[in-house]
C-alpha cells in the first residue's frame, strides 16, 4: 500500500488507509476518491528556491520529471559535494511521482539541500529517495517541505548505511492538506551514526506526519532524534518514531525526543514514540512532551517591554531553534532559520 503504487497503477485501492497501522493518522484512502490526472511537463521555475545559491550544483525535478542531471546524486568514493535537490510541483489538481537514487561511495560526503516547492494548488505528489551510504560516507540531508496548503504529498526515504557511515537529517515542514514525510534507516551499528531531526510548523487546516524507523542491526551504533512541533488553528501534527534494536545489537545508544507546542484548542497532535529493544546491553531513552507556551514567561517578557505578539514569537522561535542549532553548516543553518522565521506559527 503506497501512494507510488497507486499512481503507477492508477488504482485508488492501493492508497494506504487507517486500516494500515502505520497510516492510521494519515488516511489517504478516505481522502482521495479519484486520482487526479497525470501532471503535464513544465519548465523549471525562475525563482531560486529556498536555499538560494548555496551549493555547487542543482538537480531539478518538476512535476515528477528530472530536468537536471540525476547522476549528480551519485558520488564516487572520497568526493565531497553540496547539492540542491528541488522537487517542484507546478500544476494544479494533477498528480505525479518521482523516484531518485542517492549513492555515496566510501568516505564521500554530500550535503543535500532538498526542497519541496508547491507552486500550484491541490496537486498530489509522491517522492521516493533510495539512499545508500558506503563505509565512512556522510550525508547531511536538509529538507524544507514547502508544499501548498491544499496539496497531498508523500515523501519517503529509504536509507541504508554501511559501517562508520553518518546520516545527519533535518526536516522542516509547514504541512499540506495531508502530508507525510517518512524516513526508514537500516543501521548496521559498527560506528555508524544517525541524527534525525525535524520541525513541523502548522497553521490553518494543515496536516504533517513525520514518521521514522531506525533498525539497529549491529553492535555500537548511535541514533539521536529530536523532533519539535508547533501547531495552531485546526492543524494536526503526527509524529511516529520507532527505534528497533535487534538481538545482538549491543552497546547501541539511541535517544528520541518529541516536544510540541499546541497553540489552539482545536489543534491536534498525535504522537507514537516507540523503542523496541531485543538486545541486552543498550542505552536507550525517549521523551515526549506536549504543552502550551509558558504564560508566566510571556508576562515576564511583557513586563520587560516586549509586546505580547513579539514575546510569543520570540519564545516559539526559541523553542524550534534548538533543532535548527544542530545543523552543522552555518550558511545552511541560517537559511533554514530564515525559512522557519518566515513561516512562524501563532
Partner 1 sequence: MLSIQNLHARVEEAEILKGLSLDLPAGEVHAIMGPNGAGKSTLSYVLTGRDGYEVTQGSATLDGEDLLSLEPEERAARGLFLSFQYPLEIPGVPAMTFIRTALNAQRKARGEAEVTAPEFLKLARETAKQLRIDFDMLKRPLNVGFSGGEKKRMEIFQMAMLSPRLLILDETDSGLDIDALKIVADGVNAMRRPDRAMLVITHYQRLLDYIRPDRVHVLSAGRIVASGGPELALELEREGYDKYARAA
Which one, of 240, 193, 32, 203, lies nearest residue 126 by Cα? 32
Candidates 10, 283, 299, 334: give the one binding partner 1 (CB under 8 A): 299
Using alpha carbons, list the distances in angstroms from residue 56 to 81, 83, 85, 180: 7, 6, 11, 29
Burial class (CB in 10 A: 0-12, 13-18, 19+), 234: middle
User: Judged by CB under 8 A, which stretch of 98-106, 182-190, 201-209, 317-325 contacts partner 1?
Assistant: 317-325
Q: How far is the CB of 261 from partner 1 (least distance, A)?
A: 12
User: Judged by CB under 8 A, which stretch of 53-61, 276-284, 312-320, 334-342 contacts partner 1?
Assistant: 312-320
Candidates 11, 274, 294, 342: give the one binding partner 1 (CB under 8 A): 294
330 binds partner 1 (CB under 8 A): no
Which residues inside 129-168 make contact with partner 1, applying CB under 8 A? none
101 binds partner 1 (CB under 8 A): no
Q: Which is nearer to partner 1, 87 or 324 (CB)?
A: 324
- 291 strand-pairing partners: 261
Q: How far is CA 16 from the centre of its chain?
A: 19
List the grid coordinates of 141.
540531508
41 binds partner 1 (CB under 8 A): no
User: Judged by CB under 8 A, which stretch of 16-24, 54-62, 131-139, 293-301 contacts partner 1?
Assistant: 293-301
Pairwise CA distance, residues 189 & 214, whole Å = 11
- H helices, E strands: number in the chain: 4, 18
What phi and psi, each to the nearest 5 degrees, are found at residue 71? -65, -20
Which residues inside 103-132 make contact with partner 1, applying CB under 8 A? none
334 binds partner 1 (CB under 8 A): no
Residues that bind partner 1 (CB under 8 A): 294-297, 299-308, 310, 314-315, 317-319, 321-322
Amino acid at each position: 500500500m503506497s501512494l507510488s503504487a497507486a499512481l503507477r497503477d492508477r488504482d485508488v485501492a492501493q492508497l494506504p488507509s487507517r486500516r494500515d497501522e502505520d497510516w492510521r493518522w494519515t488516511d489517504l484512502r478516505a481522502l482521495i476518491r479519484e486520482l487526479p490526472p497525470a501532471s503535464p511537463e513544465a519548465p523549471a521555475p525562475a525563482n531560486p528556491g529556498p536555499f538560494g545559491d548555496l551549493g555547487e550544483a542543482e538537480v531539478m525535478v518538476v512535476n515528477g520529471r528530472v530536468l537536471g542531471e540525476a547522476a549528480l546524486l551519485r558520488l564516487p568514493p572520497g568526493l565531497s559535494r553540496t547539492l540542491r535537490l528541488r522537487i517542484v510541483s507546478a500544476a494544479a489538481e494533477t498528480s505525479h511521482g518521482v523516484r531518485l537514487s542517492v549513492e555515496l561511495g566510501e568516505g564521500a560526503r554530500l550535503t543535500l539541500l532538498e526542497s519541496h516547492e508547491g507552486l500550484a494548488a491541490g496537486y498530489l505528489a509522491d517522492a521516493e529517495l533510495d539512499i545508500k551510504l558506503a563505509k565512512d560516507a556522510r550525508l547531511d540531508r536538509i529538507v524544507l517541505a514547502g508544499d501548498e496548503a491544499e496539496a497531498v504529498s508523500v515523501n519517503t526515504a529509504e536509507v541504508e548505511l554501511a559501517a562508520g557511515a553518518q546520516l545527519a537529517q533535518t526536516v522542516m515542514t509547514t504541512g499540506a492538506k495531508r502530508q507525510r514525510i517518512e524516513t526508514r534507516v537500516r543501521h548496521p551499528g559498527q560506528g555508524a551514526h544517525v541524527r534525525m531531526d525535524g520541525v513541523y510548523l502548522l497553521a490553518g487546516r494543515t496536516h504533517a506526519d513525520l514518521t521514522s524507523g531506525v533498525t539497529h542491526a549491529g553492535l555500537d551504533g548511535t541514533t539521536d532524534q529530536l523532533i519539535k512541533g508547533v501547531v495552531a488553528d485546526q492543524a494536526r501534527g503526527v509524529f511516529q518514531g520507532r527505534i528497533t534494536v535487534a538481538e545482538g545489537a549491543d552497546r547501541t545508544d539511541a535517544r528520541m525526543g518529541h516536544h510540541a507546542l499546541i497553540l489552539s484548542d482545536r489543534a491536534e497532535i498525535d504522537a507514537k514514540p516507540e523503542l523496541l529493544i531485543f538486545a541486552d546491553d543498550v542505552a536507550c531513552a525517549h521523551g515526549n512532551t506536549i504543552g502550551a507556551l509558558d504564560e508566566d514567561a510571556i508576562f515576564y517578557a511583557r513586563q520587560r517591554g516586549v509586546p505580547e505578539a513579539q514575546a510569543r514569537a520570540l519564545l516559539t522561535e526559541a523553542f524550534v531553534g534548538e533543532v535548527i542549532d544542530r545543523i552543522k553548516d552555518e550558511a545552511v543553518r541560517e537559511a533554514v532559520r530564515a525559512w522557519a522565521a518566515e513561516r512562524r506559527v501563532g
